């Protein structure tokens, strides 16, 4: 069927994306101000890193530049979530107002249709900041650069993105099942602040939580071990791509189950 083909969805997404960017760029001041605000937010986080390492040469065996690597990596991994999946924040309002019903009657995938309506341009600023930070840390750590390593980096970033997108899919879709689900989204979003830290700095209980329950350790820590701890790469790092795909698919099923059972406000 035409509506199920990848080129068809790519064409639809291209048209929706162009219209959304046009509408946002009509308010350029808002775009530049929000982008600058995001950059300064990340600069303040880096300042906190710097101040911490003025007093301590390392944190649980992780040096300043290794922590910068994790920070830059996490920002890059979170950029697809910020840019492409930001509409999940609006899902609760659509559901409670009854406006979500419009997505249920179109001959395309409901999840795709809803998510594709919004492209958050300021996420590009976050991605650029993350890229600069990662390159700086990479250079300071004198890590090798080969074609294979670049491929591994891109795969690791893609895998890491899937984990955070899945977490937010689960959080957003709770609005189909419970009332006042906004706190779930806010709580889930706050967990990404912990993604830029190595899991080894936490107590064993939280290591388990952040690995197997709310898997933020897969956003930066486990993928980064491919480049920072090449002599001691754990099995979970190698399994990350498979786990990421499965976790994202489960979040998609959870989201779609709620959408299929959505019946409107009843008014």
Domain ranges of the chain: 2-260
- pTM here is 0.88
DSSP-derived pairing of the beta strands 58-59 and 62-63: antiparallel
* Closest to 77 measured CA to CA, from 242, 197, 219, 202: 219
In this structure, is the dihedral angle defined by the CA atoms of residues 181, 17, 162 and 221, taken in order, positive or negative? negative
pLDDT in tens, the chain (267 residues): 344 577 888 888 888 887 777 776 666 666 677 667 777 777 777 777 777 676 777 777 888 899 999 999 999 999 999 999 999 999 999 999 989 998 888 788 999 999 998 888 878 888 988 999 999 999 999 999 999 999 999 999 999 999 999 999 999 999 999 988 889 999 999 988 888 889 988 999 999 999 999 999 999 999 999 999 988 899 999 999 999 999 999 999 999 999 998 876 554
pLDDT of residue 27: 66
pLDDT of residue 59: 74
CB 126 within 8 A of CB 78: yes
pLDDT of residue 2: 44
pLDDT of residue 31: 64
CB atoms under 10 Å from CB of 156, counted, come to 25
pLDDT of residue 182: 85
């Amino acid at each position: 069927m035409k509506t199920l083909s990848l080129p068809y969805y790519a064409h639809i997404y291209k048209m929706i994306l162009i219209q959304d960017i046009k509408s946002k760029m009509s308010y350029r001041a808002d775009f530049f101000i929000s982008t600058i605000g995001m950059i300064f937010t990340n600069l303040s986080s880096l300042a906190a890193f710097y101040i911490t390492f003025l007093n301590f040469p390392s944190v649980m065996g992780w040096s300043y530049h290794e922590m910068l690597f994790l920070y830059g990596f996490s920002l890059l991994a979170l950029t697809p979530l910020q840019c492409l999946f930001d509409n999940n924040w609006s899902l609760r309002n659509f559901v409670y107002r009854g406006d979500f019903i419009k997505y249920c009657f179109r001959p395309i995938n409901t999840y795709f249709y809803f998510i594709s309506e919004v492209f958050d341009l300021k996420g590009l600023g976050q991605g650029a900041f993350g890229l600069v930070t990662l390159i700086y840390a990479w250079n300071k750590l004198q890590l090798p650069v080969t074609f294979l390593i670049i491929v591994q980096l891109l795969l690791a970033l893609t895998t890491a993105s899937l984990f955070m997108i899945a977490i937010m899919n689960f959080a957003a879709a709770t609005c189909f099942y419970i009332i006042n689900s906004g706190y779930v989204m806010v709580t889930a979003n706050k967990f990404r602040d912990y993604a830029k830290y190595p899991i080894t700095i936490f107590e064993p209980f939280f290591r388990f939580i952040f690995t197997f329950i709310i898997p933020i350790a897969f956003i930066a820590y486990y993928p980064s071990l491919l480049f920072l701890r090449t002599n001691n790469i754990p099995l979970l790092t190698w399994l990350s791509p498979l786990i990421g795909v499965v976790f994202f698919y489960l979040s998609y099923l959870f989201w779609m189950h709620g959408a299929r059972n959505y019946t409107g406000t009843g008014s």
